[in-house]
């Protein structure tokens, strides 16, 4: 994990259309002066702040895209280190997808733990009930 990551710009393209692209500008300081893309069909989100309390830092992000199907000039827009998806920098979407798969063994263990807890509560309840019956007679 990075404590103070450097600002970076990522250009993401659709696998179906090489004309459609999105610019993701991340990890910039909140007071950074960003030159936004302007034009009739260019949309840009407001700055979003991700508070990483565990790391003691914050991460700001902005997304810009063009509905007309032309490339948004990511490199010219944000004037930061630029990463395009031309193959030189893989974003690893397949690896991310694989890491979110459910582990069947883990699910079985979680269900086993829940089952043992229920069994323990039944045993404790039965013992308590039998103890009270024994005392009352």
For 76-130, how does the pLDDT look when each residue is reduced to its tens digit (9 = 90+)? Answer: 555 555 555 554 444 444 444 555 566 778 888 999 999 999 999 999 999 999 9
- Count: domains in the chain: 2
Q: Tell me: do 38 and 93 sit in the same domain.
A: yes
Asked whether residue 23 is domain-assigned, the answer is yes
Same structural domain, 115 and 88: no
Ranges of H-type helices in the chain: 74-78, 93-99, 104-136
Q: Whole domain around residue 71: which residue ranges?
A: 8-99
CB 41 within 8 A of CB 84: no
Whether residue 40 lies inside any domain: the answer is yes
Query: What mean pLDDT comes out for the span 13-24?
Result: 68
Distance, CA of 90 to CA of 77 (rounded, Å): 22
């Amino acid at each position: 994990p990075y404590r103070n990551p450097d600002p970076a710009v990522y250009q993401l393209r659709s696998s179906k259309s090489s004309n459609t692209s999105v610019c993701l500008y991340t990890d910039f300081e909140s007071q950074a002066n960003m030159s936004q893309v302007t034009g009739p069909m260019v949309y840009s989100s407001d700055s979003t702040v991700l508070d990483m309390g565990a790391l003691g830092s914050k991460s700001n992000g902005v997304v810009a895209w063009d509905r007309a199907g032309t490339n948004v000039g990511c490199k010219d827009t944000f004037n930061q280190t630029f990463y395009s998806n031309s193959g030189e920098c893989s974003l690893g979407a397949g690896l991310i997808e694989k890491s979110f798969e459910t582990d069947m063994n883990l699910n079985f263990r979680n269900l086993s733990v829940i089952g043992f807890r229920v069994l323990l509560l039944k045993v404790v309840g039965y013992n308590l009930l039998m103890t009270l019956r024994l005392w009352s007679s």
